[in-house]
Chain A
Amino acid sequence: MKLKRKDLLSIEELSVEEISFIIETARSFKRVNERDIKKVPTLRGKTVINLFYEPSTRTRTSFEIAAKRMSADAINISVSQSSVKKGETLKDTALNLEAMRPDCIVLRHASSGAPAMLAELLDCSVINAGDGMHEHPSQALLDMMTVLERFDSLEGLNITIVGDVSHSRVARSNIYGFNKLGANVTLCGPPTMIPHGIEEMGATVEYDLDRAIRGADVIMMLRIQLERDRVPLFPTAREYADRYGLNLKRLKGAKEGLLILHPGPINRGVEISPEVADGPYSLLIDQVTNGLAVRMALFYILIGGPSESEHEAEEPDSNGKERGTA
């Protein structure tokens, strides 16, 4: 299997085979993370730059640990949006960083399409760690991996995504991913959070949470941003929790063996009650564990091979391990 791409920018662009290959590879890395010595020398001498234009602890840490576990040098650069206004452009920043010859830049940016722009500009690999409201591919991969640990296949599975789909890159990546792997995706939230034409991405919309829960195998709760727009998307947190919050009472109507995902960080008591977040169906901790493995897999697949400059260097020496015909 070969991932014929320099960058990981979206789930939309991935084939089913590529998604499966990444998840399969991530499973191997998960075992590495369970060892006493959790480090492998695979990316020795490689450099990964985590370029984060939005505050993020979880994702940045996950990418950083992933790089370090693979023996790459990981450098974190956090840029506050306010300093960008007067500072240098993303393009100039990226060109400057590339001059230091990193192998991969992991970019988190508030503008949709920023990673695509860098990918076109730079020779090094670019991983989208979340761009605006567009995509967050590593999150969707870890979500799919997590569900695939509980089900043999996603074919025919019903997954319900609840919350502010409109502003959610996690939702978009997951709609693509779960669809590609054969699941049925239902979106649920107040109409203010369900964007125009989302059905055309391959999802059904259900405004009533109780109906959306019924028959679901997996429920993914999105984080609710309490202050987002100048004009709020819902009247009060209280009303939101009442109509769209997941609590034990609501889960009474749910299917046996229901799984609950949340990309985190969670607002306990708003979109998800503490009893549910800490309850037996909740896979929140598995998601974090798998996130690390997915990111290691991405590094392995994207930059484990030759750097651009080394590419033409020499014929690979099949050192006796080409099985069958050594």
Chain B
Amino acid sequence: MQQILDDKAIDRALTRISHEILERNKGTENLVLIGIPTRGEFLAARICAKIEEFENITLPTGTVDATLYRDDLNLKDEQPSLKETDIPISIAGKTLVLVDDVLYTGRTIRSALNALMDYGRPAAIQLAVLVDRGHRELPIKADYVGKNIPTAPNQGVGVRLSEIDDRDEVLLIIKEDS
């Protein structure tokens, strides 16, 4: 296991992403942050706090659980527990920034996009991730990336956030028997 990002690096990445979001959208108007549980939800909250710090505006922040839209339920032995979907305002006509910890195959994002569409018709959806580890299986690209970590097939990425883990860090994990 190798630490790729420590708590300071994570914080710097989130600061940069927050600035990029503001820059690209020319401010906060119409913006809604949507985290994908579990860790995307905390990242969205941190981005929300940073933007509040910079702009003195609290963005509406929600969560979307995409479990019911996944395409791999048939492959799982065990049904994943359903998590909260909480979208505080109507998303019709809004610009949504979807936040997740790791971007990998893109399938989770695909299901989240489908789920969001069932809540209304947003003007645009952008994607922010802390780590992009490559190996996409769908044509999905992040708009804001904390760090690109190209991984080998026998490697994984672990994200720990102090909200539920004991500290902030991003790890490169060598999987055994892989």
Check if B120 is an interface residue, CB within 8 A of chain A.
yes
Q: Which of A178-186, A201-209, A311-319 contacts B (4 or more CB under 8 A)?
A: A311-319
Given contacts A304-B79, A306-B77, A319-B72, contact A35 B165 (CB under 8 A): no
A36–B120 touching, CB < 8 Å: yes
Q: How far is the CA of A304 from the CA of B159 in the complex (A)?
A: 28
Q: In the complex, which of the residues A29, A31, A314, A325 has the most CB atoms of chain B within 10 Å of its own CB atom?
A: A325
**B interface residues, how many (CB within 8 angstroms):** 39
B77–A316 touching, CB < 8 Å: yes
Q: Which of B8-16, B25-33, B46-54, B96-104 contacts A (4 or more CB under 8 A)?
A: B96-104
Chain A positions within 8 Å of B76 at CB level: 305-306, 316
Check if B85 is an interface residue, CB within 8 A of chain A.
yes
Q: Which residue of A lies closest to B74 (CB)?
A: A306
Check if B126 is an interface residue, CB within 8 A of chain A.
no
Check if A76 is an interface residue, CB within 8 A of chain B.
no
A contact face: mostly helix, strand, loop, or mixed: loop
Given contacts A319-B104, A319-B108, contact A42 B81 (CB under 8 A): no
Q: How far is the CA of A25 from the CA of B78 in the complex (A)?
A: 13
A319–B107 touching, CB < 8 Å: yes
- 8 Å CB contact of B75 from A29, A314, A326: A314
B81–A25 touching, CB < 8 Å: yes
Q: How far is the CA of A216 from the CA of B70 in the complex (A)?
A: 44
Check if B114 is an interface residue, CB within 8 A of chain A.
yes
Check if A320 is an interface residue, CB within 8 A of chain B.
yes
Check if A1 is an interface residue, CB within 8 A of chain B.
yes
Q: How far is the CA of A66 from the CA of B159 in the complex (A)?
A: 36
Q: How far is the CA of A3 from the CA of B77 in the complex (A)?
A: 10
State which residues 105-156 of B face A: CB under 8 Å: 105, 107-108, 114-115, 118-120, 133, 137, 156
A320–B68 touching, CB < 8 Å: no
A326–B72 touching, CB < 8 Å: no
Give the shortest distance, in Å, between A275 (CB) and chain B (any CB): 38
Give the shortest distance, in Å, between A302 (CB) and chain B (any CB): 9
A2–B79 touching, CB < 8 Å: yes
Q: How far is the CA of A324 from the CA of B105 in the complex (A)?
A: 16
Give the shortest distance, in Å, between B162 (CB) and chain A (any CB): 13
Check if A249 is an interface residue, CB within 8 A of chain B.
no
Q: Which residue of A lies closest to B117 (CB)?
A: A37
State which residues 157-182 of A face B: CB under 8 Å: none
- 8 Å CB contact of B102 from A32, A41, A311, A326: A326
Given contacts A305-B76, A320-B108, contact A31 B85 (CB under 8 A): yes
B68–A41 touching, CB < 8 Å: yes
Q: How far is the CA of A2 from the CA of B79 in the complex (A)?
A: 7
B133–A320 touching, CB < 8 Å: yes
Chain A positions within 8 Å of B156 at CB level: 325-326
Chain B positions within 8 Å of A237 at CB level: none
Q: Which residue of A lies closest to B73 (CB)?
A: A304
Q: How far is the CA of A317 from the CA of B65 in the complex (A)?
A: 19
Q: How far is the CA of A41 from the CA of B82 in the complex (A)?
A: 14
Check if B57 is an interface residue, CB within 8 A of chain A.
no
Check if A40 is an interface residue, CB within 8 A of chain B.
yes
B74–A305 touching, CB < 8 Å: yes
A323–B118 touching, CB < 8 Å: no
Give the shortest distance, in Å, between A101 (CB) and chain B (any CB): 14
Given contacts A40-B68, A301-B79, contact A326 B158 (CB under 8 A): yes
Q: In the complex, which of the residues A24, A41, A326 has the most CB atoms of chain B within 10 Å of its own CB atom?
A: A326
State which residues 14-44 of A face B: CB under 8 Å: 21, 24-25, 28-29, 31-32, 35-37, 39-42
21 interchain pairs (CB within 8 A)? A2-B77, A21-B81, A24-B81, A28-B83, A28-B85, A40-B68, A40-B118, A70-B68, A300-B79, A305-B73, A306-B76, A311-B77, A314-B75, A317-B72, A317-B75, A319-B104, A324-B158, A325-B158, A326-B157, A326-B158, A326-B159
**Pairs A-B, 6 closest by C-beta atoms:** A320-B104, A28-B82, A40-B68, A37-B118, A319-B105, A316-B75
| Additional pairs, 20, CB under 8 Å, beyond known A325-B158, A325-B173 | A1-B81, A25-B82, A28-B82, A29-B82, A31-B85, A36-B119, A40-B115, A42-B68, A42-B73, A305-B74, A306-B76, A306-B77, A310-B74, A310-B75, A319-B72, A319-B104, A319-B108, A320-B133, A326-B133, A326-B159
